[in-house]
């Protein structure tokens, strides 16, 4: 029962009861403990990105590639990027563009070559994986400026399409004809997903340049301008069913963009360009390859008692006197006469009697 309270209070706890308190540094093993807030960050982790380039309707019924011709479109994006750690980030992205397509109905030669276009706007959330920080050799001490990124995510979009041919889908009043048109609004039913691969180059601590290849899966049969559905149950029959050209039920597009990322913050390094394992290996390499000259008794040992003056508590110890670890002359019987001059080392006595009792 006497030991129990001693054992209880001997265990120093590292738990804290308030958010402004810090763990006990002796128990936690770290003397560099501080509250984690914006002021304690070491790296920038926000960025704004913009980019643009050509876009094509690639895997669909009505495509940007017909015969030996290429119908060029465009794509542009802007995003707010948050880096979670050195390998993963999240982007909130707005994207817009236009693709141009052509197709021909085998079942209706009178239609000729149909021309279509698609204008789209998209809002999405993307996960950003830094493959270079996952695959790079961390024992390489040299700085790196290239990084391979992968993006995957989804969102909702709106789009407008139009298709015109020489037969049923054209502007005409006699007989009455109108082009095939679609107008998809922003809503849950317009969900799409996309993936991208980007190669980034670190120009400076403020700016990155990136080349991306973006793949867009519309999850929609109408995205290429081919019209609504695949049914032949229409007055025009197979004369307007462009969605039957191939078996694909989801139209897909691709774009090739060149963009800039503007890194926000006051620090010299962005978190995406920092690899903690490389830093650890770099410090280990530095320690292993640095010759450290240890200086013993930097201030010397003035009294030659074997205890350096750096921590000697008695700098004028008489020559020949035995001392403790602090450089203080020993006095075994604590009578005020050091053992060097004490004739009775184990029995206390006055100085005038050489440390022996009278």
pLDDT tens column, 75-132: 999 999 999 999 999 999 999 999 999 999 988 888 999 999 999 999 999 999 999 9
- CB-CB contact of 261 with 207 (8 Å): yes
| pLDDT lower than 70: segments of the chain | 1-40, 138-141, 230-238, 292-295
- CB-CB contact of 355 with 342 (8 Å): yes
| Strand-pair partners of 256 | 213
Q: Record the pTM.
A: 0.70
Alpha-carbon span 20 to 84, nearest angstrom: 24
- CB-CB contact of 116 with 85 (8 Å): no
Burial of residue 261 (CB within 10 Å: 0-12, 13-18, 19+) is: buried
Cα–Cα separations (whole angstroms), residue 22 to 38, 40, 41: 17, 14, 17
pLDDT the model gives residue 13:
44
Classify residue 318 by its DSSP letter. P
Alpha-carbon span 101 to 221, nearest angstrom: 14
What the block records as the tokens of 2 is 């006497």
Cα–Cα separations (whole angstroms), residue 225 to 66, 92, 110: 15, 27, 19
What the block records as the tokens of 24 is 């006990």
pLDDT the model gives residue 178:
86
Residue 94: which residues within 8 A CB-CB, separation 6 or more? 77, 78, 79, 121, 122, 123
pLDDT the model gives residue 60:
94
What the block records as the tokens of 40 is 């304690």
Instruction: Give the count of beta carbons closer than 10 Å to the beta carbon of residue 1.
Output: 4
| Alpha carbon 27 to chain centroid, angstroms | 32
| Long-range contacts of residues 173-182, Cβ cutoff 8 Å, at least 24 apart | 180/116, 180/225, 180/226, 180/227, 180/240, 180/242, 182/222, 182/225, 182/227, 182/228
- CB-CB contact of 227 with 245 (8 Å): no
Burial of residue 94 (CB within 10 Å: 0-12, 13-18, 19+) is: middle
What the block records as the tokens of 321 is 């006197």
């Amino acid at each position: 029962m006497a030991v129990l309270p001693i054992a209880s209070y001997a265990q120093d706890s590292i738990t804290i009861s308030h958010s402004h308190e810090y763990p006990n540094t002796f128990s936690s093993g770290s003397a560099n403990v501080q509250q984690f807030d914006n002021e304690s960050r070491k790296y920038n982790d926000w960025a704004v990105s913009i980019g643009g380039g050509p876009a094509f309707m690639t895997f669909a019924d009505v495509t940007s590639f017909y015969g030996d011709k290429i119908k060029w479109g465009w794509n542009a994006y802007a995003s707010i990027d948050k880096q979670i750690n050195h390998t993963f980030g999240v982007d909130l992205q707005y994207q817009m563009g236009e693709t141009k397509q052509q197709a021909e109905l085998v079942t209706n030669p009178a239609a000729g070559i149909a021309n279509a276009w698609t204008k789209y706007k998209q809002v999405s959330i993307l996960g950003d994986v830094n493959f270079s920080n996952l695959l790079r050799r961390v024992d390489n001490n040299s700085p790196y400026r290239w990084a391979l990124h992968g993006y995957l995510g989804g969102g909702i979009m709106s789009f407008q399409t139009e298709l015109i041919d020489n037969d049923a889908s054209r502007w005409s009043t006699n007989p009455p004809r109108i082009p095939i048109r679609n107008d998809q609004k922003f809503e849950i039913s317009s969900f799409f997903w996309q993936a991208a691969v980007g190669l980034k180059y670190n120009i400076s601590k403020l700016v990155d340049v990136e080349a991306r290849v973006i793949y867009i899966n519309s999850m929609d049969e109408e995205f290429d301008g081919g019209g609504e559905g695949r049914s032949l149950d229409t007055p025009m029959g197979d004369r307007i069913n462009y969605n039957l050209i191939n078996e694909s039920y989801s139209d897909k597009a691709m774009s090739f963009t060149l963009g800039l990322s503007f890194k926000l913050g006051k620090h010299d390094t962005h978190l995406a360009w920092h690899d903690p394992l490389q830093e650890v290996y770099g410090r280990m390499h530095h320690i292993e390859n640095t010759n450290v000259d240890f200086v013993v008794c930097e201030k010397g040992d003035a009294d030659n008692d074997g205890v350096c003056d750096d921590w000697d508590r008695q700098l004028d110890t008489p020559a020949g006197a035995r001392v403790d670890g602090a450089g203080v002359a020993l006095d075994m019987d604590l009578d005020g006469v050091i053992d060097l001059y004490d004739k009775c080392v184990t029995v206390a006595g006055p100085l005038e009697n050489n440390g022996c009792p009278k």
